[in-house]
């Protein structure tokens, strides 16, 4: 998996698509939460749940179904009318942030893959393009391997994310001044 930092950076990219809200701090907290919540499944190691199990690491919490349910749950904090256009926009933004976690994990060079279709299918997937170094879990992150991971993520996640944000801001500026 990429580090928690890189998952969160992508949340900042998604936040550029935000809707108007008076709850800005809550919005930013929730979007970052969406990018990291799938990894709360590491608690499965504590309960001796096998990595490869449906509720093991990169299992159900990394699935499309989980991303849908979680994004709907978070969206209710911002828009009570579940039939409104704003509610749908929030769901799409929070879904994008949540599912990005599994997408990035499927681009790493380690682990067992991501169970995108859990609970309907137990197969785990990687993408053909896997340039991101898998991150060590826990205190092992602060090691030589952790530094290699950060350098890999800098190239494949951080720089493209900040370039995207810069482009969005440039286009907003140009649109505002014309």
Long-range contacts of the stretch 27-32 (C-beta < 8 A, 24+): 27/78, 30/74, 30/77, 30/94, 31/93, 31/94, 31/97, 32/8, 32/97
Tokens 């391997």, located at residue:
145
Give the mean model confidence (pLDDT) for residues 96-108.
95
The answer to whether 170 touches 24, Cβ cutoff 8 Å, is: no
Record the pTM: 0.87
Q: How far apart are CA 155 and CA 108, in angstroms?
A: 13
Write down the number of H helices and E strands in the chain: 7, 0
Residue 32, Cβ density class (10 Å: 0-12 exposed, 13-18 middle, ≥19 buried): buried
Kindly tell me if the per-residue pLDDT of 119 is higher than 80: yes
DSSP assignment string, 86-140: HHHHHHHHHHHHHHHHHHHHTTBSSSS-B-TTTTT----B--S---BPPPPPGGG
121-151, pLDDT tens digit by residue?
Answer: 999 999 999 998 888 776 767 777 878 888 8
45-74, pLDDT tens digit by residue?
Answer: 899 999 999 999 999 999 999 999 999 999
Give the mean model confidence (pLDDT) for residues 98-109.
94
Q: How confident is the model at residue 14 (pLDDT cuts 50, 70, 90)?
A: confident
Which residues are CB-neighbours of 178 under 8 A, at least 6 positions away? none
Per-domain residue ranges of the chain: 4-176
């Amino acid at each position: 998996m990429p580090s928690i930092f890189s998952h969160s950076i992508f949340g900042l990219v998604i936040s550029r698509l935000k809707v108007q809200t008076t709850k800005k701090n809550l919005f930013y907290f929730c979007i970052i939460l969406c990018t990291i919540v799938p990894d709360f499944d590491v608690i499965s190691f504590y309960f001796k749940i096998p990595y490869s199990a449906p509720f093991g690491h990169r299992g159900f919490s990394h699935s499309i179904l989980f991303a849908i349910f979680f994004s709907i749950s978070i969206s209710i904090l911002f828009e009570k009318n579940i039939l409104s256009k704003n509610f749908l926009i929030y769901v799409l933004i929070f879904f994008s942030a949540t599912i990005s976690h599994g997408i990035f994990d499927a681009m790493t060079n380690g682990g067992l893959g991501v169970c995108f279709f859990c609970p309907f299918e137990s197969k785990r997937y990687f993408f053909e393009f896997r340039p991101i170094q898998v991150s060590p879990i826990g205190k092992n992150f602060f090691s030589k391997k952790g530094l290699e991971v950060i350098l890999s993520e800098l190239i494949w996640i951080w720089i493209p994310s900040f370039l995207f944000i810069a482009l969005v801001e440039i286009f907003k500026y140009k649109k505002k001044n014309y």
